[in-house]
């Protein structure tokens, strides 16, 4: 746990990446697996994760990301995109996966399947989009923690125009929406932010014991 806390103190929202340094394939696979293993409500994982390395695509996205240099200078640009609809088919697919993975007869999972459908299929599209977008932040947390352990820098970004991302990445027609963005790579020596002390609320301010 001490190492975990040390990593949390080491990490920060990197403002300037060293564009010459790239995340290795091995480390990227580790990060992907950490994201894949993230918790989500019902275990449904109602999102996809885009890993964008194409410089032309990133240049297109940069103006709609407040022109932040991290979009183009980081090793990879990661876009978490949430599903805007939950369908019977997606729930059935998840239950089938559960049945096969855990060697449980499908009929034994029918009650769980019916419960999920009763809760999720009745949501409006707006409610669904809000709920699925929240799930992407759980995956983002795993990315942040795994990257810190690997001493890979991450900048989580909400400062972007989701609609423009959706347009450029052809997401809307796929029933997807750009929810939150992260850039990964290695901090530049000239990034003064890495030397700033963390500013956080004190334990007494943050926690309430009941």
User: Domain coordinates of the chain in residue numbers?
Assistant: 9-86+125-193, 87-122
Q: Show the tokens assigned to 43.
A: 């275990």
Specify the pLDDT at position 2: 86
Q: What pLDDT was estimated at residue 76?
A: 98
In sequence order, the β-bridge partners of residue 176 are 83
Strand boundaries in 37-145, DSSP class E: 47-52, 76-83
Show Cβ contacts of residue 109 under 8 Å, excluding neighbours closer than 6 positions: 95, 98, 99
Residue 187: pLDDT band by 50, 70, 90 thresholds?
A: very high
Task: Give 10-33 pLDDT, tens digit per residue.
Answer: 999 999 999 999 999 999 999 999
pLDDT, tens digit (0-9, with 9 covering 90-100), for 99-152? 999 999 999 999 999 999 999 999 999 999 999 999 999 999 999 999 999 999
Residue 67 — very low, low, confident or very high, per pLDDT cuts 50/70/90?
A: very high
Q: Classify 9-86+125-193 by CATH class.
A: alpha beta
Chain segment 168-185, per-residue pLDDT in tens: 999 999 999 999 999 999
196 SS3 class = coil
Above pLDDT 70, what percent of the chain? 100
- pLDDT beyond 80 at 1: no
Is-contact 90 83, C-beta < 8 A? yes
Q: What is the pTM of this model?
A: 0.96
Beta strands in the chain (DSSP E): 47-52, 76-83, 153-157, 176-185
Q: What mean pLDDT do residues 201-206 have? A: 98
């Amino acid at each position: 746990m001490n190492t975990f806390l040390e990593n949390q103190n080491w990490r920060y929202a990197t403002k300037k990446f060293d564009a010459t340094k790239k995340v290795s394939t091995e480390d990227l696979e580790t990060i992907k697996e950490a994201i894949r293993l993230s918790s989500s409500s019902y275990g449904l994982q109602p999102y996809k994760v885009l890993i964008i390395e194409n410089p032309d695509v990133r240049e297109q996205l940069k103006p709609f990301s407040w022109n932040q240099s991290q979009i183009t200078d980081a090793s990879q640009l990661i876009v978490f995109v949430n599903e805007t609809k939950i369908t019977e088919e997606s729930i059935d697919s998840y239950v089938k996966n559960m049945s096969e993975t855990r060697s449980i007869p499908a009929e034994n999972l029918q009650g769980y399947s019916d419960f999920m459908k009763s809760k999720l299929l009745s949501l409006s599209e707006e409610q669904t989009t809000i709920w699925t977008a929240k799930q992407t932040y759980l995956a983002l947390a795993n990315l942040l923690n795994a990257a810190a352990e690997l001493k890979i820098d991450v900048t989580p970004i909400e400062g972007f125009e989701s609609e423009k991302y959706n347009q450029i990445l052809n997401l809307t027609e796929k029933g997807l929406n750009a929810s939150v963005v992260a850039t990964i790579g290695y901090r530049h020596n000239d990034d003064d932010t890495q030397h700033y002390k963390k500013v956080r609320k004190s334990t007494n301010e943050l926690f309430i014991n009941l």
